Structure formats: structure tokens, C-alpha cells
Amino acid sequence: MESKLGFTKENIIASIGFAFFVVCPRMAGMMHVISKHSSTSMLYTILLGIVISIPLLMIMVYVFDKAGVWGTLGFCVMTDFISALIMKSISIRAGIETFIIAIFVIIGVKLTPYISSKIIFKEQETGQEITKSNVLEDNKEYNTEDDK
């Protein structure tokens, strides 16, 4: 079902998921650094930051389209380091804390494939793949045993 604006159910669900993902622990860390090291209003800071971030998000989408996930991660790491340099003008400590947040993001990106590979399904441990034919065979065996 498509609305007059061109939004589909899938687009709305993905957008809601993206919105909740943008509001993340990293964002809370940045809010903490800003509030601790400046006297600026968080509401005004967030509103202005949203406006400034729109073109950056558009660039991120463009980079993703042209260079894939690794190019996009490179772009995002670069923006994290730029953020640390900018935050340094509020205080050196704010810049260092922002830099540390960026480092933890990089470590997280590197560690998640390793950690997720350790969280595997039983079928993958035994080397079996879940395929439609496996499911049909299992169902056939189950039904045959029930009939006895």
C-alpha cells in the first residue's frame, strides 16, 4: 500500500527502526560530554545539530551507494574524528572524550563479526544447512512416525 507521498509500510518501518538506532548510547555519550563541558542548551544544540546533520546523512547514503559498508564506515569514522577536533575547542578533555567514544565505535565494528560468529545455531554447529528440502524431509519423517 503506497500513500500519496510515496511512503510504503516497509519504508515507514525501516525509518522508525533507523530513528531508534540514531538515538543510541553513542549519542548519550556525546550529550554527556557536551553538557559536562559547556553551558549550552541541550535542546538548542540538538535542534541545530539535526539541521547540520541532514547533509551529512545524505553524504553518508551517497557514500554507501558508491563504496558500500566499508566506505561508509570510513566516512563515519572520519566524522567522529572531526567531531573530536571540534569538541576540543570547548575543552581539551571534551575532545579527548569524544575521541575515545570514536575509538570504542571502531573497536565495536571490528569485534562484532567475531562475537556474532560465536553466537550460532545448533544446525550450523553440526554443519547442516536449513533448506526447504531439509524441512520437508523432517516433516515427512515426523508425520510418518506419528502415523505408526
Closest CA to 26 of 108, 113, 115, 91: 108
The Cα–Cα gap between 55 and 52 comes to 7
- Residue pair 94/45 in contact (Cβ under 8 Å)? The answer is no
Q: Is the pTM value of this prediction over 0.75? A: no
Encode pLDDT of 18-54 as tens digits.
888 888 887 888 888 888 888 889 899 989 999 999 9
pLDDT bucket at 59, cuts 50 / 70 / 90: very high
pLDDT for the residue 142? 46
Contacts of 96 (CB under 8 A, 6+ apart): 84, 88
